[in-house]
């Protein structure tokens, strides 16, 4: 009898008394004669996977812990968002004091090249999955600092951004709309910036080192 892994509850070979349904064929990978999976059974496994992933994503979307790190003047609009008038906690959004307890990083406006170094360090300390929300025109194209020598013009080159909220500065209503969009993206499994960062780390590192001249960050221990 094959040794079955306990973490695959859909694996029908765990139940040797099940008879092969009419028209079924032996599973290609199974050395066990009792392992017969019909077309319906073969469809069942990915559906269970998808259901578990959907539930996980739903819970993640309803539990956003925002790192308290204001990089630019857009951070001032985050304060009213936490008060009773706009009440971000009703969406499951709350603040977190350290990167290791956060899963949302808000880049709240312009980002100086010196700040970028700290932002990268904090972002890499956050556990996966994690998401980045960029507030204001400055994060999109430099905004009113478009010709400044020491601000970041295109944030996407240095870290993955899941949601941009435009405006200078965006009002709390716009922030709520942006968070709602992020939650929908997480639930749909489309907010995968963190995964993109892992897969393209070399590309991001190359870009980061072009503006952070005194690079002394430790290697990321994935
Ligand atoms: S977009 Fe406007 S409010 Fe936001 S950081 Fe830039 S100048 Fe400040």
pLDDT for res 28: 44
Q: Structural domain boundaries of the chain?
A: 59-211
Residue 86 pLDDT greater than 90, yes or no: yes
pLDDT, tens digit, 9 for 90 and up, residues 115-157: 999 999 999 999 999 999 999 999 988 889 989 999 999 899 9
What share of the chain in percent tops pLDDT 90?
Answer: 56
CA distances from 77 to 7, 156, 168 (A): 45, 22, 11
Q: Is 144 in the pocket of ligand 1 (CB under 6 A)?
A: yes
Q: Is this structure's pTM higher than 0.85? A: no
Strand 163-165 and strand 25-26: the pairing is unpaired
Q: Is 152 in the pocket of ligand 1 (CB under 6 A)?
A: no
pLDDT for res 92: 93
Taking the CA atoms of the chain, what radius of gyration do you get in angstroms?
A: 23
Residue 8 pLDDT greater than 70, yes or no: no
Distance CA 154, CA 28 (A): 49
- Fold type of domain 59-211: Rossmann fold (3.40.50)
pLDDT, tens digit, 9 for 90 and up, residues 158-183: 999 999 999 998 999 999 999 999 99
Q: Is 137 in the pocket of ligand 1 (CB under 6 A)?
A: yes
Q: Whose CA is nearest to atom 5 of ligand 1?
A: 109
Q: Is 168 in the pocket of ligand 1 (CB under 6 A)?
A: yes
Residue 42 pLDDT greater than 70, yes or no: no
CB 188 within 8 A of CB 162: no
Kindly indicate the confidence band of residue 10, based on its pLDDT and cuts at 50, 70 and 90: very low
pLDDT for res 221: 53
Highest mean pLDDT among 38-42, 50-54, 195-199: 195-199
CA of 180 to the centre of ligand 1 (A): 21
Query: What is the atom index within ligand 1 of the atom nearest the CA of 168?
Result: 2
Query: What is the atom index within ligand 1 of the atom nearest the CA of 144?
Result: 7
Q: Whose CA is nearest to atom 3 of ligand 1?
A: 169
Cα 16 to the chain's mean position, in Å?
A: 40
pLDDT for res 213: 86
Which of the listed residues 73, 108, 111 should we mutate to test ligand 1's pocket, taking the one with most ligand atoms within 8 A of CB?
73
When the pLDDT of each residue in the chain is averaged and rounded to a whole number, the result is 82
Task: Spell out the residues 6+ positions from residue 4 whose beta carbon is closer than 8 angstroms to its own.
Answer: 11, 13, 14
Distance CA 162, CA 81 (A): 20
């Amino acid at each position: 009898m094959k040794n079955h892994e306990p973490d695959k509850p859909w694996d029908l070979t765990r139940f040797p008394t099940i008879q092969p349904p009419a028209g079924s064929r032996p599973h290609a990978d199974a050395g066990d004669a009792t392992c017969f999976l019909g077309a319906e059974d073969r469809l069942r496994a990915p559906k269970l996977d998808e259901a578990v992933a959907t539930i996980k994503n739903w819970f993640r979307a309803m539990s956003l812990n925002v790192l308290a790190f204001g990089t630019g003047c857009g951070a001032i609009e985050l304060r009213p968002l936490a008060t009773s008038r706009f009440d971000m906690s009703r969406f499951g959004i709350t603040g977190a004091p350290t990167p290791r307890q956060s899963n949302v990083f808000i880049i709240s406006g312009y980002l100086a090249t010196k700040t970028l170094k700290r932002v990268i360090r904090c972002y890499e300390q956050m556990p996966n999955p994690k998401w980045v929300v960029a507030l204001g025109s400055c994060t999109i194209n430099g905004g009113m600092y478009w010709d400044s020598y020491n601000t970041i013009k295109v944030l996407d080159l240095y870290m993955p951004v899941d949601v941009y909220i435009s405006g200078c500065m965006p009002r709390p209503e716009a922030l709520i709309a942006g968070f709602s969009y992020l939650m929908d993206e997480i639930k749909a499994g489309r907010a995968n910036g963190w995964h993109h960062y892992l897969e393209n780390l070399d590309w991001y590192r190359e870009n980061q080192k072009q503006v952070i001249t005194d690079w002394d960050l430790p290697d990321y221990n994935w």
